[in-house]
Amino acid sequence: MSDSSETNPPAGQTPWFSGLKRGFARRCPNCGQSPIFNRYLKVNRTCVHCGLGLGEFRADDAPPYFTILIVGHVIVAPLLFFPWIWQANVWLVLGTVLPALLIATLAFLPVVKGAVVGLHWAIEPRHTVEEA
């Protein structure tokens, strides 16, 4: 296990940008070395590299909410400007748009959840590292 003093922020500072960036990369927000998930959306209990208790940072409903918000603005809103959406057969539109929405949602969800966990880590007043 590495020394946690080199990855923890100095007193009085919160590294929200680095926590957010490491979370977007789906890495531990403390050290940035090990993966934050052990399955698709299952957060590891502790970081393998630095020992940070990742299980204490609960994301709850924020990742699905932000994912729907992002996908809605990135995919659905621009689609409404294309005339074929309004003129084509309903089944053709649903058959092409729904798979794209599903793929985008499933791709964004772990990235957004990692970012939420990283942001929780950054705003947490204490950064604990579990002893082995």
Tens-place pLDDT, residues 26-51: 999 888 889 999 999 999 999 898 88
**Residue 129 resides in a domain:** no
- Please tell me the total count of domains within the chain: 1
Q: For all residues of the chain together, what is the average pLDDT?
A: 84
Tell whether the model's pLDDT for residue 11 goes beyond 50.
Answer: no
Q: What pLDDT was estimated at residue 61?
A: 93
Residue 105 structural domain = 4-123
Burial 4-13 (b: 16+ CB within 10 A, else e): eeebbeeeee
Give burial (CB, 10 Å; 0-12/13-18/19+) of 116.
Answer: buried
Q: What pLDDT was estimated at residue 100?
A: 93
Q: What pLDDT was estimated at residue 81?
A: 92
Residue 28 · residue 22 · CB < 8 Å: yes
**Residue 25 resides in a domain:** yes
**Residue 74 resides in a domain:** yes
Q: What pLDDT was estimated at residue 6?
A: 45
**Residue 117 resides in a domain:** yes
Confidence of residue 78 (pLDDT cuts 50, 70, 90): very high
Which residue would you say has higher pLDDT here, 37 or 15?
Answer: 37
Nearest to 119 by CA among 27, 35, 70, 57: 57
Look up the pTM and report it. 0.79
**Residue 132 resides in a domain:** no
Other beta carbons less than 10 A from residue 114's beta carbon: 26
